[in-house]
Structure 1
Amino acid sequence: MDWAGGWFAAENYDAARFVLQRGIALVYVLAFVAALRQFRPLLGEHGLLPVPQFVARVPSRLAPSLFHWRYSDRLLVAVAALGALVAAALVLGLPQAGPPWVPLLAFLLLWALYLSVVNVGQVFYSFGWESLLLEAGFLAAFLGSDRVAPPVTVVVLFRWLVFRVEFGAGMIKMRGDPCWRDLTCLYYHHETQPMPNPGSWFFHHLPRPLHKVEVAANHATQLVVPFLLFAPQPVATVAAAVVVVTQGWLMLSGNFAWLNFLTMLLAFSAVGDGVLDRLLPWSVGTQAHGPTPGWFAVVVLAVTALMVVLSYWPARNLVDRHQKMNASFNRWHLAGAYGAFGSITRRRDEVVVEGTEDDDPFTTDWHEYEFKGKPGRTGQIPRQWAPYHLRLDWGMWFLALGSPSQHRWFTVFLLRLLEGDRPTLTLLRRDPFAGRRPRYVRARVFRYRYSTWEELRRTRQWWVRQERALLVAPQNLQNMHQLF
């Protein structure tokens, strides 16, 4: 049975498939490496939110995961290492050189393994880009191998995914904070975003009229351009280029894990080989394909039908006045709703954690723990981390927005600092006690703002901060144990 050519095959999208499969696999490498480095101190057997406690109270039907069968830190390492190795093979294109069932199984394995991680990850894995990566990896399984033409229905499903990411983000803004409608949100965003990067300070100090132009351009990109992804070539490629440029702009101005990078990759689903051949000195180019196996065509059509059915919920959400942001409508994280920054904070508060080796809790000899990504010392410019994801640092940003009683993990975090717990300390940039146990720890809230150009020249400080409140009074190990 020969399905090659005709309506089923997208003969002009080999370059798109090349970028999608290898790029998505690269993000999976980052995700599994992050799990290897961060999951155990955050969620392991002795983590801040231990998985064994979670799976004991949440049934597998609500959060399917391999770890409902059994959890151990060793099993987590095995899962993450296997995922990283399979993803690396896909980056190199090894499974794609075989028949279509080889990359199909490889990507489905990545999806299943990472789904097991996300569904037990609790607050540390509750980000929209986790679902985005899972959905992208699932779809990539059905792009086929180099021996067959990319299925046109899967290419369209990828464009539908990009549409939901961009249009969903645009609509959540228009329905949300009024500063998006009066074009003033960027007066605040670069200063108050969760994790600034080295360029954020400079973006914040751009002229305010330019900030308004940026917001207006963002609205055009997210509310108009997504429809053009479904237009004939070369219009679809131009629309994809706009998405890539704007997402690149966002990468230059902030650390949003792999959200921007992955969205750029997904936009390539609208880029045709012919356009790339004219624009680039090299490209993958359209290849000669063999016949598409009948079984593969049947599987692709069945998955397409499944995704069409599941798309009812996110499509309805897009037109709902009470639109949900970054929502999963099923336990498999397929056909989700995406969006970001429906509201913008006007001021930046940061939780600063300190310890002392003094026996007197009223001492002035306190030393600050330094985090890898979140703002801390005022003379330290934020670092670039995206597309890598620092989960503890993001948790600290959310902590500053609400009560510590809503973040039980933070109490455990303070306990681990008092214990001098080495796995926990690896999540930090600097431990002021070099592994020794402090006598007391405390947490204070500071109001941060960027320094002005004049202040930066005079003081060489990127931030100016002022204490606002004592969040957690000095606690020693005995006090903390009484809370558990």
Structure 2
Amino acid sequence: MQWFTADGYELSRTVFQRALATVYLVAFLSAALQFRALIGTRGMLPVPELLRRTPWRAAPGLFRLHYSDRFFAAVAWTGTALSLALIAGADGHVPLWAAMLLWAVPWVLYLSIVQVGQVWYGFGWESLLLETGFLAVLLGNADTAPPVLVLWLLRWLLFRLEFGAGLIKMRGDACWHRLTCLDFHHETQPMPGPLSWFFHHLPKPVHRAEVAANHVTQLVVPFLLFTPQPVAGAAAGLMVLTQLWLVLSGNFAWLNWLTIVIALSAIDWAPWSGPPPARPAPPLWYEVVVIAATVLVVALSYRPARNLVSRRQVMNRSFDPLHLVNTYGAFGSISRTRLEVVVEGTDEPVIHEGTRWHEYGFRGKPGDPRRMPRQFAPYHLRLDWMMWFAALSPAYARSWFGPFVERLLRGDRDTLRLLRHNPFPDGPPAHVRARVFRYEFTDPHELRTTGQWWRRTYVRDFMPPVARPVPLRPPGRQP
């Protein structure tokens, strides 16, 4: 079938595949280095407990067959090794069926991790990586030109990702209509980066222009993806530029980078790649697999597409247990104030008015007002992200904050590795407490005179002082 392949998109496929393998690498490293404290057998939300209370069909994966921390580590490090092999182009040196298998294995491995990740893996970019990874399995290698159907499915994914994010904003916070959301967002986003302070202090007309440009990129430009080249490629290029702006202004794990990866597949790289090589027709079995998978994705797209046009649109939702076709979106509402949960401990056995408390330092989330925000994305600091949600509402921390504090009181080594600073290197504290502070960026004069990037003000207690044994009750506001 001559229509089946798209000659001239070989370089587009290569760029896409190498970039996607890099995102896979970051995702597997994040899993390998953090899982023991989060979901390990002795973690805050142990996988074995999840497996006992949920059925197979709710979250199928390898860990339904067997779970141990050693097996999870093997899965994560195997995914890391395969990602490195794919970055190096190993899929181009094997037959077509083997190349598809090389892409299928990391998809299965990461799907298995997400299925047991619980709240730590409840982010939209997890499903986005899985949906993108599934389509990558079908793209083939140098044995055949890229299939047209898969290239269109990638554009359909990019359309849903961007258009869904645009719609959720227009249906959500009124500040998106007034073009004022970025008066707050750079300061209140989950994890500011090293340039966020500077973005926050841009003139307000620049903030208005940022929001307006975002609306155009998310609500108008996505439709151009379905037009002929070079218009479709130009539309994808505008999305890449927008995402790079977001990369500079914050830390959103691999969301922005993966969006860029998908957009790269819609750019026509033929002028830089030379004439396509002569190849035999794709094997019949490959055509059948790609067509069948396309039919499946189109059928599964019904509910996500209906969600796009619904007045009750939801974001970051999976409608099938394999995360094959999902809905996306971010920041339908914007926080006006930044609240942070500050965790402190003391080694004094009896608490009194003069008790000295020492603050635990987190790697990414704001803590010490004098510490400049750091760049961590595309690496995902899962605990730091969930601490941001906990500050918004104690309900977000109901399942894990008590176990987190318990592990601090035990001096748990795996938990302490998630932190930047442990104020008790010689032994665990006697008591731990948590308090909520309001954080605000300082102005340029304050930064010059005090060296502080933030000013903070006490708001309320989050969890009163607790000692061993820790009562594993949900944290909340205290009278």
TM-score grouping bracket, smaller chain normalisation: over 0.9
Q: What is the Cα deviation at residue 96 of structure 1? A: 2.4
1:146 paired with 2:142, answer yes
| Residue in 2 that maps onto 1:471 | 462
1:203 paired with 2:188, answer no
1:52 paired with 2:48, answer yes
Distance 1:28 1:410 in 2: 29
| Residue in 2 that maps onto 1:381 | 372
Distance 2:50 2:29 in 1: 23
Checking the alignment, whether the CA contact within 8 Å between 1:418 and 1:441 is kept in structure 2 is yes
Q: What is the Cα deviation at residue 473 of structure 1? A: 1.1
1:298 paired with 2:288, answer yes
SS in 2 for 1:478: coil
Distance 1:94 1:405 in 2: 42
Distance 1:482 1:119 in 2: 25
Deviations 1:109-160 (A, max 9, x none): 1111111110111000000000000010100000001121000000000011
Checking the alignment, whether the CA contact within 8 Å between 2:406 and 2:470 is kept in structure 1 is no
| Residue in 2 that maps onto 1:259 | 255
Counting only pairs closer than 5 Å after superposition, residues 347-358 of structure 1 correspond to structure 2 as 347-358=337-348
Q: What is the Cα deviation at residue 425 of structure 1? A: 0.3
The letter for the 1-side match of 2:8 is: N
Deviations 1:422-460 (A, max 9, x none): 000000011011151111110010000000011111111
Deviations 1:173-203 (A, max 9, x none): 0010000011000000000000000010000
Checking the alignment, whether the CA contact within 8 Å between 1:307 and 1:335 is kept in structure 2 is yes
Distance 2:439 2:274 in 1: 48
Q: What is the Cα deviation at residue 289 of structure 1? A: 3.1
Checking the alignment, whether the CA contact within 8 Å between 1:18 and 1:284 is kept in structure 2 is no
Distance 2:117 2:294 in 1: 29
The letter for the 2-side match of 1:445 is: V
| Residue in 2 that maps onto 1:325 | 315
Q: What is the Cα deviation at residue 408 of structure 1? A: 2.2
Of 462-471 and 96-105, more deviation after overlay is shown by 96-105
| Residue in 2 that maps onto 1:280 | none
Distance 1:99 1:253 in 2: 42
Of 98-107 and 447-456, more deviation after overlay is shown by 98-107
1:407 paired with 2:403, answer no
Of 357-366 and 263-272, more deviation after overlay is shown by 357-366
**1:171 pairs with 151, 167, 174, which one?**
167
Counting only pairs closer than 5 Å after superposition, residues 88-237 of structure 1 correspond to structure 2 as 88-237=84-233
Q: What is the Cα deviation at residue 171 of structure 1? A: 0.4
**1:460 pairs with 445, 451, 456, which one?**
451
The letter for the 1-side match of 2:144 is: V
| Residue in 2 that maps onto 1:434 | 425
Q: What is the Cα deviation at residue 71 of structure 1? A: 1.1
The letter for the 1-side match of 2:181 is: C
The CA RMSD over aligned residues, in Å, is 1.4
**1:41 pairs with 37, 40, 44, which one?**
37
Deviations 1:235-280 (A, max 9, x none): 11111110000000000000000000000010012111235x2xxx
Q: What is the Cα deviation at residue 97 of structure 1? A: 2.4
The letter for the 2-side match of 1:110 is: P
Checking the alignment, whether the CA contact within 8 Å between 2:402 and 2:472 is kept in structure 1 is no
**1:71 pairs with 64, 67, 83, which one?**
67
Evaluate the alpha carbon distance shift between residue 404 and residue 442 of structure 1 in structure 2; reply closer, same or farther with a 3 A threshold.
Answer: farther
Distance 1:202 1:44 in 2: 39
SS in 2 for 1:198: coil
**1:29 pairs with 10, 14, 25, which one?**
25
Distance 1:459 1:140 in 2: 50
| Residue in 2 that maps onto 1:341 | 331
Deviations 1:378-427 (A, max 9, x none): 00011000001000000100100112585221110000000000000000
Distance 1:467 1:382 in 2: 20
Distance 1:64 1:442 in 2: 38
The letter for the 1-side match of 2:154 is: F
Deviations 1:59-80 (A, max 9, x none): 1101112112221100101111
Distance 1:355 1:11 in 2: 62
Of 131-140 and 289-298, more deviation after overlay is shown by 289-298
| Residue in 1 that maps onto 2:477 | none
Evaluate the alpha carbon distance shift between residue 16 and residue 481 of structure 1 in structure 2; reply closer, same or farther with a 3 A threshold.
Answer: closer
Of 33-42 and 101-110, more deviation after overlay is shown by 101-110
Distance 2:302 2:470 in 1: 51
| Residue in 1 that maps onto 2:361 | 370
Distance 1:286 1:191 in 2: 48
Distance 2:462 2:119 in 1: 21
Distance 1:406 1:428 in 2: 17
Distance 2:274 2:128 in 1: 26
Seq. identity, %: 56
The letter for the 2-side match of 1:386 is: A
Distance 1:477 1:365 in 2: 19
The letter for the 2-side match of 1:469 is: R
Structure 1 unmatched runs, 5+? 278-282
Checking the alignment, whether the CA contact within 8 Å between 1:14 and 1:287 is kept in structure 2 is no
SS in 1 for 2:140: coil
Structure 2 unmatched runs, 5+? 475-479
Checking the alignment, whether the CA contact within 8 Å between 2:438 and 2:457 is kept in structure 1 is yes
The letter for the 1-side match of 2:301 is: S
Q: What is the Cα deviation at residue 224 of structure 1? A: 0.6
The letter for the 1-side match of 2:453 is: W
Q: What is the Cα deviation at residue 327 of structure 1? A: 0.6
Checking the alignment, whether the CA contact within 8 Å between 1:273 and 1:286 is kept in structure 2 is no
Evaluate the alpha carbon distance shift between residue 343 and residue 165 of structure 1 in structure 2; reply closer, same or farther with a 3 A threshold.
Answer: same
